[in-house]
Amino acid sequence: MRIETLSTFPAMFDSIMGSSIMRRAQEKGIVDFTAYDLRNWTHDRHRTTDDDPYGGGQGLVMKCEPIFEAYDEIAASGGEKPYTILLSPTGEPFSEALATELSERDRLLFVCGHYEGVDERVYTLADKTISIGDYVLTSGELASMVVIDAVVRKIEGVLGDEAGAIDESFYDGLLEYPQYTRPASFRGMEVPAVLLSGNHAAVERWRREQSLERTSRLRPDLLATANLDESDRAFLGSLSGGVETGRF
């Protein structure tokens, strides 16, 4: 996959794209990443990318001219037209399903806003506008990093343990079950005995029930669209009846 970003602060991507899974994905040749500096498409000595908003008001708005010029040049730089994404509170809420959808694209371009946002005309370039939550961030760079990380993890061959992505929260609409590692006993807190039993069927059953219980308790809204079978529904019914679960 080819991933590109266009922003006034391209160095912000150095840390996340040069570390851990993102770095390994590039070393394996699975991801080709480029961060473009929007200031390269400005034409004044101050390399200006923003200006006062028409109609007055606080803050600055990113100008449309350098963004359009940059987009035209980047889009024409070879390969298929990039699937272009803007991060904005007005966008579609980001989700695991959307991360999967984007991971199937060959080329993504993230246009990162800053200050009070971008000139409204920039949105005509976007194939998708995404929101990562109902809060305000300093810049679109931060939000795009979240989306890029979630998307890259979905690409085949990126994770060392392919089952890892399957077992994570939201894969089947549920929160992930609790995880433990050594030592088995720490400050009076014990690892559940079933995980030490060597009984793989019992472990899988425990994990599924813990995932269902945790989702029911913390994010019951997810159950409406989760992938549930009859045994899952029966277990959830037992929870509402006050049956204690997760012990073997």
| Comma-separated ranges of CATH 1.10.1270.20 domains in the chain | 169-240
Which fold, 169-240?
Trp Operon Repressor; Chain A (1.10.1270)
For residue range 91-119, list pLDDT tens digits in order.
999 999 999 999 999 999 999 998 779 99
Number of H helices, E strands in the chain: 8, 9
Question: What is the C-alpha separation between 17 and 116, in angstroms, rounded?
Answer: 26
Over pLDDT 90: what percentage of the chain? 84
| Comma-separated ranges of CATH 3.40.1280.10 domains in the chain | 2-162
Can you give the pLDDT at residue 168?
63
Bridge-partner residues for 130, per DSSP? 92
Question: What is the C-alpha separation between 53 and 195, in angstroms, rounded?
Answer: 59
Residue 231, classed as helix, strand or coil, is helix
- Reported as a pLDDT band with limits 50, 70 and 90, residue 166 is low
* CA 4, chain centre distance (Å): 16
Kind plus residue range of the DSSP H or E element containing 78: none
Whether the CB-CB separation of 2 and 106 falls below 8 Å is answered with yes
- Reported as a pLDDT band with limits 50, 70 and 90, residue 26 is very high
Q: Which of 74, 94, 87 is nearest to 117 (CA)?
A: 87
Residue 133 counted as an annotated binding residue: yes
| Region of 133 on the Ramachandran plot (φ > 0 left; ψ -120 to 50 alpha; else beta) | left
Residue 132 counted as an annotated binding residue: yes
CATH says 2-162 is which class? alpha beta
H helices within the chain, ranges in order?
A: 13-17, 20-27, 64-75, 96-103, 140-152, 162-167, 200-218, 230-240
Residue 63 to residues 10, 12, 25, 40, Cα–Cα distance (Å): 17, 20, 33, 14
Residue 113 counted as an annotated binding residue: yes
pLDDT above 80 for 162: no
With tokens 């272009």, the residue in question is: 84
* Mean pLDDT value of segment 150-165: 81
Can you give the pLDDT at residue 58?
87
Selected residue with higher pLDDT from 194 and 165: 194
Selected residue with higher pLDDT from 162 and 48: 48
Can you give the pLDDT at residue 164?
52
Residue 24, classed as helix, strand or coil, is helix
Average pLDDT of the chain to the nearest whole number: 92
* Mean pLDDT value of segment 123-143: 94
